[in-house]
């Protein structure tokens, strides 16, 4: 009898309870805000939060509703943090009260992702990641980001935007050609196809104009948009030298901060007055994000440079030099030069089934059975084989640790001669973690500290954890230039695992 396979990260065909849960309305994990809003709470003054996601008569509702589950899955699920939720609810409430379309209902979702991004889907679906919240330094900057996305929705920009499929080809081939009939593989294809294409330059500038007007009218500092655009410039520079944070689908790439755009943002802000007007709400913002998770979530494993480690699974491996790790919700993708890519995931296989038989069980199409080999790896039982399909070659290696079977599928064009070497290098680095190593794998968090007399950027940056670019990341998180001095009493962010 053929074994029913179960995906470690989530049962096949089902969302993971810890990743894709719908949090109760009372918890405000999904923020649905209507027109009459109390600016202190972000809640409707006349009734409780509506149970509908968007206006029933909104013709775009079906579009956003269809894509919403894919967004949630791709970005690690909903981030549940009561302080952060209240912080964002207040910001959105103030923006809705001054919007051009106060009858529109927006559903704002906090995404449990370290990726720095914010975007909108048709029908009033707004998304912001905790990665972006970590970069902002006050409520007015988050208001500028959300107002910009709300402007895209009210201007119907999202309805005319086409999906971008660049970069999905390799992952799709791996999932389609190799994981035949596998629900997890099919889901990976759907998630990989979600590419949030950049709006046109005119649409971005139009959203900037509307968004800055909104934050100014809401009482926020109208110069926040200019500041955050500059932060995105600094973020882009940081990415250029740190692959562990690289991501083609981030706010910096989909919202390019051109000098012209920054200058126009400054001009629009001047309509409200000189710099220094409006509220930033820095203290309140720091209170809200203090203790917020930073970087990868524990249930998805941790990426530290080129090393992936998962405490729950008890395993680790290292990507080759020049390769990047994309820690997705259902699998880990390792991509490198010349169209080389590896997909890593896990499943459960009965210990009565040999790895040879598992490779032959039908989950791999194009399998060349005569290439199946069994050999030990770091004390673990393994088996490997080659598969072919549509101009591509695949090297598949499965590794058993009790009932768990870990799968590495490396893909390369037929003309690429490095397939075997890359596959062997990645899988050769795979090993189980010791109890001590597992205990040391802790999530990073944002900690807000108060500067003391004599503190410098270098001294405070030395307290940063989880990065080999302590000073650069410290400056990025706090909007500092190398020439800035630290004033006693200043509130600053560091990254810590304590």
Provide the CATH number for the domain around residue 485.
3.10.350
Rounded CA-CA distance 212/214 in Å is 5
Rounded CA-CA distance 348/73 in Å is 21
Q: 237 and 122, same structural domain?
A: yes
Q: What is the mean pLDDT of residues 465-477?
A: 91
Q: 325 and 310, same structural domain?
A: yes
Q: How many domains does the structure of the chain reveal?
A: 3
Lowest-confidence segment of 189-203, 355-369, 418-432, 468-482 by average pLDDT: 189-203
Q: 285 and 381, same structural domain?
A: no
Which residue range is the domain that position 23 belongs to?
6-162+197-290
Q: Output the pLDDT for position 356.
A: 95
Q: Do the domain assignments include residue 112?
A: yes
Q: Do the domain assignments include residue 239?
A: yes
| Statement: residue 430 has pLDDT above 90 | yes
Q: Give 395's strand partners.
A: 386, 410
Q: 344 and 421, same structural domain?
A: yes
Tokens 């562990």 belong to which residue? 244
- Boundary residue ending a domain (255, 290, 325): 290
Q: 224 and 321, same structural domain?
A: no
Q: Output the pLDDT for position 260.
A: 87
Q: 421 and 306, same structural domain?
A: yes
Q: Output the pLDDT for position 14.
A: 30
* Higher pLDDT, residue 43 or 147: 147
Q: 48 and 132, same structural domain?
A: yes
CATH number of the domain that 335 lies in? 3.40.1000.10
Q: Output the pLDDT for position 250.
A: 60
Q: 312 and 427, same structural domain?
A: yes
| Statement: residue 375 has pLDDT above 60 | yes
Q: Do the domain assignments include residue 141?
A: yes
Q: 449 and 427, same structural domain?
A: no
Conformational region of residue 200, where left means phi above 0, alpha means psi within -120 to 50, and beta covers everything else: beta
| Statement: residue 225 has pLDDT above 90 | yes
Q: 137 and 110, same structural domain?
A: yes
Q: 228 and 105, same structural domain?
A: yes
Q: 15 and 45, same structural domain?
A: yes
The model's pTM is 0.72
């Amino acid at each position: 009898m053929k074994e029913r396979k179960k995906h470690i990260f989530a049962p096949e065909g089902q969302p993971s309870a810890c990743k894709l849960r719908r949090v109760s309305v009372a918890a405000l994990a999904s923020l649905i805000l209507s027109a009459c809003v109390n600016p202190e709470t972000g809640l409707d003054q006349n009734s409780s939060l509506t149970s509908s996601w968007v206006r029933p008569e909104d013709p775009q509702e079906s579009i956003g509703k269809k894509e919403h589950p894919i967004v949630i899955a791709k970005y690690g699920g909903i981030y549940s943090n009561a302080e952060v939720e209240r912080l964002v609810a207040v910001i959105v409430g103030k923006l809705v009260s001054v919007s051009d379309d106060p009858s529109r209902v927006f559903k704002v979702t906090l995404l449990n992702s370290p990726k720095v991004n914010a975007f909108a889907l048709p029908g009033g679906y707004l998304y912001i990641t905790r990665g972006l919240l970590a970069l902002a330094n006050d409520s007015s900057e988050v208001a500028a980001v959300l107002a910009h996305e709300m402007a895209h929705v009210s201007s119907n920009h999202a309805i005319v935007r086409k999906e971008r499929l660049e970069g999905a080809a390799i992952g799709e081939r791996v999932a389609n050609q190799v994981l035949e009939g596998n629900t997890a593989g099919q889901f990976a294809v759907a998630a990989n196809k979600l590419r949030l294409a950049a709006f046109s330059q005119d649409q971005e500038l139009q959203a900037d104009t509307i968004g800055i007007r909104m934050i100014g009218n809401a009482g926020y500092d109208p110069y926040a948009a200019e500041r955050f655009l500059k932060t995105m410039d600094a973020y882009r520079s940081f990415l250029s030298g740190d692959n562990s944070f690289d991501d083609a689908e981030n706010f910096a790439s989909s919202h390019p901060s051109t000098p012209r755009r920054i200058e126009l943002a400054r001009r629009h802000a001047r309509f409200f007055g000189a710099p220094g007007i409006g509220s930033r709400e820095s203290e309140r913002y720091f209170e809200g994000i203090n203790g917020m998770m930073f970087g990868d979530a524990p249930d998805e494993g941790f990426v530290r440079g080129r090393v992936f480690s998962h405490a729950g699974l008890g395993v680790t491996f290292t990507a080759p030099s020049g390769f990047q790790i994309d820690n997705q919700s259902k699998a880990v993708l390792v991509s490198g030069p010349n169209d080389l890519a590896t997909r890593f995931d896990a499943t459960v296989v009965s210990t009565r089934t040999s790895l040879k038989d598992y490779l032959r069980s039908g989950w791999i199409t194009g399998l060349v059975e005569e290439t199946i080999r069994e050999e030990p790896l770091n004390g673990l039982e393994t088996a490997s084989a080659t598969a072919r399909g549509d101009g591509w070659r695949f090297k598949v290696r499965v590794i058993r640790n009790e009932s768990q079977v870990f799968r590495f599928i490396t893909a390369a064009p037929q003309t690429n001669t490095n397939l075997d070497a890359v596959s062997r290098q990645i899988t050769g680095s795979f090993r189980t973690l010791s109890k001590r190593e597992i205990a040391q794998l802790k999530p990073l968090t944002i900690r807000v500290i108060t500067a003391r007399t004599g503190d410098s950027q270098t001294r405070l940056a030395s307290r940063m954890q989880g990065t080999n670019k302590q000073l650069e990341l410290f400056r990025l998180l706090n909007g500092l230039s190398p020439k800035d001095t630290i004033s006693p009493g200043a509130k600053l962010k560091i990254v810590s695992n304590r």
